[in-house]
Amino acid sequence: MSIPLYKTLIAGLSVWWLLFVHYHERVYIQSTLRKCSWPGKADGNRIALLADPQVVDENTYPHNLTAFNWIVRQLSDNYLAKHFKYMTRTLDPSTTFFLGDLFDGGREWNNTAVWFDEYKRFNRIFDPRFSIDRMVIRSLPGNHDIGFGNEVVSEIRDRFRVFFGDSNGYYFFNNNQHVVVMLDTISLSSSNGAISLETWEFVNRLSARMSDPTDAEFRSVKTVVLLTHVPFYRDSATQQCLGPHRESPNPFPVSKGYQYQTVLDYALSRELISKLRPNIIFSGDDHDYCHVKHSEEVEEITVKTMSMTNGIRYPAIQLLTLDLDGYSTDICYLADPYYIIKAYVLNCIFSLSVLLVKVYFSAAYEVRAHQVDRFLRQKVLLEKAEALLPTGEAEYSRYWKPAREGLRLKRQRALVVAANSSIVLVIVWLLFGVYYLSA
């Protein structure tokens, strides 16, 4: 028996899925980003700060099934890629800084070939083509990229710098009225001079220039913005996170472990604030938002992760505007990743339910007609058998077995559902692929 294909239903579901995918892969993300507004004046320099993308790899969930890790990786890559693409188009920042932890297992990859494959993947997610005519700085390392402190391996750090650029630097805005300083505090935390010396020399040179009133570049600087991956030290008992944006109800953690330290050492934090005199510090690493005051003159914002896999319910980026009045900053929430996943799951259930209703309750379903036809033909056979044989009832039961007919009907229905569902699934997969790969 041929398996019926419901072409009209398949076409209808395909159109529905086209609209569904278009909304959730484009419209919903863009509409969420449009809710964000740049603080400060419209003619200021607009800077986007992106923290801890930590692209998923085999180190993220080492104890889970390979198939599960593959699915999570695809979902996470798509989420990051779509938001980076539409952030540049919708919010149109003039400059974008990454605050470290670009990879999840970068510090573990001694095999350069593996690292380079992940580097190419990172560039597919954060495609440089979306940032043409914009400045994008990705060279600030995180502890997941190169390790932390005394556990930093110089070869891994040097490899990171070769592909992403110098880990220390400064950038002027608004005719040198503002300077953004990017500092590799991870290397600075090492007691190994071979690791920390270069960054200390950078700090000391920069501090001397900032203190020199005759320095042509720095003498007009009014605002110093400091970027670091690891947050500065704070006493979690007395320095509570300010504002409503932090998800965790717990105090900011102050701890250390394998290849990480949640805050810089107290002495290092004080020295850097003294030498560089920042007005505001932006950090990453914690994944959750935290706004603290180190003094009346110095505040710090720990930027939320932009990743959906870092234990945060609502990922976000930070918007910074540098204008003639100084600096202004605000949080920008990204699309709810778990809403998107739930929507896809519920839509799959809906589509399958529609197919089941069509198969099981359609009066035109040809298997039912086939069953009636078979029953009538076997009834004629029974009447002939009763006329010829005293065992006509046995002869009938040999040809007509209701239990077997029911099983056959169920199998046929299952095949119809499977066939039509497979076609819809292939169409949905192609649609998703087009939306994933297209600009």
Q: What is the mean pLDDT of residues 216-224?
A: 93
Helices (H), 321-365: 337-361
Is 419's pLDDT higher than 90?
A: no
Q: What is the mean pLDDT of residues 229-246?
A: 90
CB atoms under 10 Å from CB of 52, counted, come to 25
For 11-71, give the DSSP string. HHHHHHHHHHHHIIIIIHHHHHHHT----S-TTSEEEEEEB---B--TTTSTTS-HHHHHH
pLDDT at residue 439, rounded to an integer? 46
Please say whether the beta carbons of 201 and 188 come within 8 A: no
pLDDT at residue 180, rounded to an integer? 98
Q: Which of 202-206, 397-401, 412-416 has the highest mean pLDDT?
A: 202-206
Is 366's pLDDT higher than 60?
A: no
Sheet bearing 178-182, strands edge to edge? 169-173, 178-182, 223-227, 280-283, 299-302, 290-293
Category of 20 on φ-ψ map: left (φ > 0), alpha (ψ -120 to 50) or beta: alpha
Please say whether the beta carbons of 413 and 4 come within 8 A: no
Q: What is the mean pLDDT of residues 325-350?
A: 94
Q: What is the mean pLDDT of residues 288-311?
A: 95
Instruction: Tell me how far apart the alpha carbons of residues 148 and 261 are, in angstroms, rounded to a whole number.
Output: 7
pLDDT at residue 363, rounded to an integer? 42
Query: Per DSSP, what are the bridge partners of residue 291?
Result: 242, 301
Domain 36-324: top CATH class: alpha beta
Q: What is the mean pLDDT of residues 297-318?
A: 96
Look up tokens 């029911």; give the residue.
Answer: 406
Mean pLDDT estimate for the chain: 86
> Cα 178 from chain centroid?
31
Is 57's pLDDT higher than 70?
A: yes
Per-residue pLDDT of 67-95, as tens digits, reads 888 889 999 999 999 999 999 999 999 99
Is 97's pLDDT higher than 80?
A: yes
CB atoms under 10 Å from CB of 4, counted, come to 18
pLDDT at residue 296, rounded to an integer? 87
- Mapped onto helix, strand or coil, the DSSP state of residue 331 is strand
Backbone Cα Rg of the chain:
31
Please say whether the beta carbons of 152 and 23 come within 8 A: no
Is 29's pLDDT higher than 60?
A: yes
Least confident range from 1-15, 124-138, 214-228, 305-319: namely 1-15
Amino acid at 310: N
pLDDT at residue 390, rounded to an integer? 53
Between 24 and 379, residue with greater pLDDT: 24
**Domain range list for the chain:** 36-324, 341-437
Residues 6 or more apart whose Cβ sits within 8 Å of residue 125: 53, 55, 77, 80, 81, 84
Is 169's pLDDT higher than 90?
A: yes
Per-residue pLDDT of 174-199, as tens digits, reads 989 999 999 999 999 999 999 999 99
pLDDT at residue 281, rounded to an integer? 98
HSE-CB for 428 with a 13 A CA cutoff = 19
Question: How far apart, in Å, are the Cα atoms of 140 and each of 20, 23, 167, 364, 433?
Answer: 38, 34, 5, 65, 32
pLDDT at residue 121, rounded to an integer? 94
CA nearest neighbour of 239 among 306, 180, 296, 293: 293
pLDDT at residue 362, rounded to an integer? 59
Percent of the chain, pLDDT > 90?
57
**Strands 290-293, 299-302: pairing kind:** antiparallel
Is 392's pLDDT higher than 50?
A: no
